[in-house]
Amino acid sequence: MAEQVNQRIEDMINELEQMRRTNLYDEEEIKEISRKRKEFEYKVQRRIKEKDDYVQYIAYELALLEDISLRRKMHKLGEKKKDLEYAIAKRLNKLFKQFIYRYQNEVEVYFEYIKFCRSVGFDSAVSGIIGQMLQIHGDKAKMWQMAAKWESKEQNNLESARSFLLKGIHRHPESDILYLDLFEIELMLAFKTKDEEERAKFLKRADVIWKNGAENINDLSFLFKLCDITIKYDVEDNTKEVKGEIWEKRSNKEVWSYIATMELRGCHWEQIEEFTDDENNFSKEVNYYVAVYEEALQRFPENNLCTKYIHGLLSVSESICTDVQKLSAVKHAWLNGHESGLLSEDMFAFGFEMLKLENETSQDELMEILDTASKYNPKARYIWEEKLKLNKSNEKKVLTVLQDASKVLKSDDTLHLWNLVLDNIDSKDMLQNFYKRFKNCENSTLLSIKPKLLEKMYEHIGLKAARELYEELIRTPPTQVELHKVMIDIEKSQEKPNAKCIRKCYECSVQYHGTDNVEVWVDYMKFETENGSIQAVPAIYRRAIATLKRELVDEFIKVQTLAKLK
């Protein structure tokens, strides 16, 4: 192996000399190039080869080739260009061949090889590479398509591309991509020729191709793509036939979505005219679009289809209708979806916000819309939120809405609504009524609003009411640590804090949470150290050691020790 590597390195001496003579690289750079090549050669010559060895070697030589080109431009050098670049290109060509021979299943390398051949002018080799690729990977329809694209796009040879596609279809009679590309090539050939007879021949072939494809491929998207191609080339007869074929498949909801979209693009289906409503003050295209979707929603009453309907209108361009007309159409579609109960929660929220911003719908009408929506989708939190907001000035209605929502919503959503109401309470009477409802509520999840309820009681009624509520809440466990913290903060915020009351809160806190919460003990000891009785701290420390779960005792000792060091 060493002899082979040395021989290959010797073969490169002429290249290195050319680099030196032209001053493209200095001595150190040339030594580094020689070293790297020797390293790569050892890797690709060893008995057990890795794919990455070839990938890295090829990448290095390609980068070197590009670097030489850049340096030539920079120094305006053309000397020995053919000798140097051609030698590197020959080596790369050999490396690519070895790579493909060893890793024939690596499809990407064929296209990298083709790109390389084009970049260095080895165009004559491309057909051979493509032939080799198809011989090995002809079982993949995509390979025939890529070969045809090379011939049509890069070589501008439509006949050769057509030949590849025909062979590909012979092997893959159910490949939509091959039929579509062949159909388009026939149309391109038809419109390139000036001979009417030739054009008719190509159009007839195109007609045969799409019909054969439609027989073999049971996929609506194939027909949709065919229709797009016929419109692109403005082939009236083909378009009419393909549209008819699509209309025959109207038992599938996707057909209606496609037709509606095409109506916005000006491609009209005469069959839909029976569904149109001339009273709608929309542009012709939008009116057809609306008619298609509203007929579709009667046949397929689904949320997703309704959402597509509205999204499509939102994306309508200014060339089709004004912003005012678009808004009117969106509102019309939204109300239609609402009345049919087909709006998703997100889509309902979007439209309802639109109605509020428009400010043309009365509160009673908005409430009627919300009542209807809650029948169709009673578990939608947004609807109940809006009901609460609309009735915020009517305490009785707010509490009724809250009670009704609690019967149908999930625990988290119910809790969100209770918190929302509590955040917006602005009177003493409402707070008291709210608390009465809260006491009668059986949902244990709502217990988490106890701390906020305590805060509101203090804000609206005062310290005495907060103390009474705290007493009541701790008599009916469970409680949260946060509840005790809130009461402690309230007591500490007084002009003359009452140490006895604060101590009582800490005692309640450690009573309910002292077994599994280190922080409550640390806070209690900190209070006694700073503001209470420092003589009580050792006793609290011993109680904490005795009360905490065994696995938390070490953590408590550690925290307390660190606190002393600070």
Answer left, alpha or beta for residue 217, where phi above 0 means left and psi between -120 and 50 means alpha. beta
Q: Which long-range contacts (CB under 8 A, 24 or more apart) does 101-108 make?
A: 102/49, 102/54, 103/51, 103/54, 104/136, 105/136, 106/51, 107/133, 107/137, 107/140, 107/143
Q: How far apart are CA 161 and CA 290, in angstroms?
A: 42
pLDDT tens digits for range 281-297: 788 999 999 999 999 99
Residue spans of the domains in the chain: they are 1-137, 139-249, 443-502, 514-566
Pick the closest to residue 520 from 542, 540, 500 (CA basis). Answer: 540
* Nearest-angstrom CA–CA distance, 509 and 480: 9
Residue 61: which H helix or E strand, with range? helix 51-75
- List, for residues 543-559, the tens digit of each pLDDT value: 999 999 988 988 988 88
178-205 pLDDT, tens digit each: 999 999 999 999 988 888 889 999 999 9
Give the length of the chain. Answer: 566
pTM for this entry:
0.71
Please give the backbone phi and psi of residue 93, each rounded to the nearest 5 degrees, phi first: -60, -40
Portion of the chain with pLDDT greater than 90, in percent: 43
d(CA 298, CA 342): 11
Match 């804090």 to its residue by tokens. Answer: 497
Which residues are CB-neighbours of 70 under 8 A, at least 6 positions away?
none
Q: What's the N-to-C CA distance of the chain in angstroms?
A: 70
* pLDDT tens digits, 302-325: 999 999 999 999 999 888 988 888
CB 85 within 8 A of CB 65: yes
Give CA–CA dist 115/203, Å, rounded. Answer: 34
Residue pair 289/277 in contact (Cβ under 8 Å)? The answer is no
What's the average model confidence in pLDDT over 224-236? 92
Element at 232 (helix H, strand E): helix 220-232
CATH class of domain segment(s) 139-249: mainly alpha
